[in-house]
Amino acid sequence: MDRALNAIERVGNLLPDPAILFLILLVVIWILSAFMAPMTFTDIDPRTGLPIQINNQLQGHALANFLATMTETFVNFHPLGVVLVAMLGVGVAEHTGFINAGLKAMLSVTSASLLTPVLIFVAIISHTAADAGYVLVIPLGAVIFYAAGRHPLAGIAAAFAGVSGGFSANFIPSAIDPLLAGLTEAGVSILDPDRMVNPLCNWYFTAISSFLIIGLGWYITDKIVEPRLIGVEVDGDLEDIPTNEPVSPQERRGLRWSLAAAGLGILALILLTIPAGSPLRSPEGEITAGDAPLMLAIVPLIFLLFLIPGVVYGYVAGTAKSHRDIVKGMSNAMSTMGYYIVLAFFAALFIAEFGRSNIGALMALRGAAGLEALALPAPITVVGIILLSAFVNLMIGSASAKWALLAPIFVPMLMQLGISPELTQAAYRVGDSTSNIVTPLMPYFPLVVVFAQKYVKNTGIGTLISMMLPYAVIFLISWTAFLLVYWMLGIPLGLQAPYTYP
């Protein structure tokens, strides 16, 4: 396996720079769309109810629209705003020393051998805060491992596996639960308009799956990934990275005041959400709904969660003398994001054109139709759904976009086999999670490469894929088997979630 992963790393690192790779893929999509546009397809697009059609992105009006919307496409690229806004607050906390002092305090009470499961646990919990884990937990994983005398890339790998590879494992419900359930219900309505799907229909399964992901991630990190990193030199700019040193009295005093400020802020937020008519709740009075202002404000809240204690720590510990030091912290954070902004520009253009061309949608529909035509036994069909979802996930990053395409096919198909929509959704979520960490087309993948390059300068796409491939393969096989055993034992999937239909 080590030789195979080394070969994957070498081949992967022969690929162009990620920014240029996205540019090349953009040109490939243009050419493919022009070649396939004249073809007629009988596959019905569930989003429109009409036969799917490939849109020629080399036509004059398509190219004109590409140029006219280029700025808007880049500015509205979701990961860009998430990363930059969150990093403003993180930059202050890092510049004043709040993060360093906090990590040193944590390392003083946490065994180095337990860092891996603790990090993966935090990564899984971060799913509740939308995409925050990509921006916060993954770089902190590197810092924590390096400060504990372990290889920082192993920390990045463990955190990335928990945040993205275990995306559908979580103890706490998040906004993705009602979003997917709504799409599942739309698929159900094709056969049974009166059948409802509870937003928490997979909650028990995803919560118990968290233990599986933590255990597997712990083993893979400590026994497979980190041993491969022995001899990989850490040659980045590490001046601001903390080491495992005792916390000084001045740092301890700053931590006490800053954590008290953060605690008061969190308490105030909780009190604001308690009233039924809270402005942070959705119009229906829910806190975790996708349209709840609290969920929509997760990134600004993360900004404040790091900014406030960072400022308090700076003034109390004496590391910040004036507001200019606070602004300098924000500026330093933005200067480190320059390469990512370039990557995001080309990634945003490629992803937008890929979606407009409908090529990815056609591949998903063809795969689903082929699976349906095989007419396999129910358990094998469920495994097929997992594998197809994992494959489609290599090309279409959005969980909701994929399920919007696949739910109208998979859900009615399995309902006719006597399988409940809730079980079908659980199978989709397993496949949707496990291949996130090995596709450069995932919007946050280039960001993780940037994080890794801070420690090992020559880190490339191949390096990251070879590190994450063991997680992806083992997660996919083990999680699939876990779902089948879970189903066989009849453990409830979640609220109002039977295994059979009707």
pLDDT (tens, 9 = 90+) of the chain, 502 residues, equals 778 877 877 877 777 777 888 899 899 999 999 999 999 888 888 777 888 899 999 999 999 999 999 999 999 887 788 778 878 888 888 888 887 777 667 766 777 778 899 999 988 887 766 566 787 789 888 988 888 889 999 999 999 999 998 888 988 777 678 778 888 888 888 788 888 888 889 999 999 999 999 999 999 999 999 999 988 888 877 665 655 567 788 888 998 999 999 899 889 988 988 888 888 888 888 876 667 888 778 778 878 888 999 999 999 988 888 889 899 989 988 887 787 788 789 888 988 888 889 887 887 788 778 877 887 888 999 999 999 999 888 877 667 677 877 887 888 888 878 889 999 999 999 999 999 899 887 878 888 998 999 899 888 888 999 999 999 999 999 999 999 999 999 999 998 899 998 8
Sign of CA dihedral 415, 421, 426, 430: positive
pTM reported for the whole predicted model: 0.77
> Which DSSP letter does residue 502 get?
-
CA distance 206 to 483: 10
Is residue 46 within 8 Å of residue 412, measured between CB atoms?
no
Pairing of strands 44-45, 50-51: antiparallel
Joined together, the tokens standing for residue 323 give 């507001």
Sign of CA dihedral 206, 208, 209, 215: positive
Is residue 377 within 8 Å of residue 390, measured between CB atoms?
no
How does 410-431 read in b/e, with b if 16+ C-beta sit within 10 Å? bbbbbbeeebbbbbbbbbbbbb
Ranges of beta strands (E only) in 31-125 are 44-45, 50-51
In this structure, the dihedral spanned by the alpha carbons of residues 137, 139, 144 and 149, taken in order and rounded to 10 degrees, is 150
Q: How far apart are the first and last CA of the chain?
A: 45
Domain boundaries in the chain?
2-33+57-489
Is the bond preceding residue 498 a cis peptide, omega within 30 degrees? no
- Look-up: residue for tokens 């969660």? 305
pLDDT of residue 207: 94
pLDDT of residue 38: 93
CA 399 to chain centroid: 10
Is residue 93 within 8 Å of residue 100, measured between CB atoms?
no
pLDDT of residue 10: 80
> Which DSSP letter does residue 224 get?
I
CA distance 502 to 500: 6
pLDDT of residue 243: 55
Joined together, the tokens standing for residue 425 give 């959704």
Joined together, the tokens standing for residue 329 give 């912290």
Joined together, the tokens standing for residue 346 give 């080309």
CA distance 366 to 455: 42
pLDDT of residue 137: 84
Joined together, the tokens standing for residue 306 give 């790091």
pLDDT of residue 226: 94
SS3 444: coil
Joined together, the tokens standing for residue 45 give 């697009």
Q: Where are the alpha helices (DSSP H) in 435-460?
A: 445-453
Residue length of the chain: 502
Joined together, the tokens standing for residue 275 give 């009233």
Sign of CA dihedral 274, 184, 362, 45: negative
* CB neighbour list of residue 220: distance below 8 Å, 6 or more residues apart: 161, 470, 471, 474
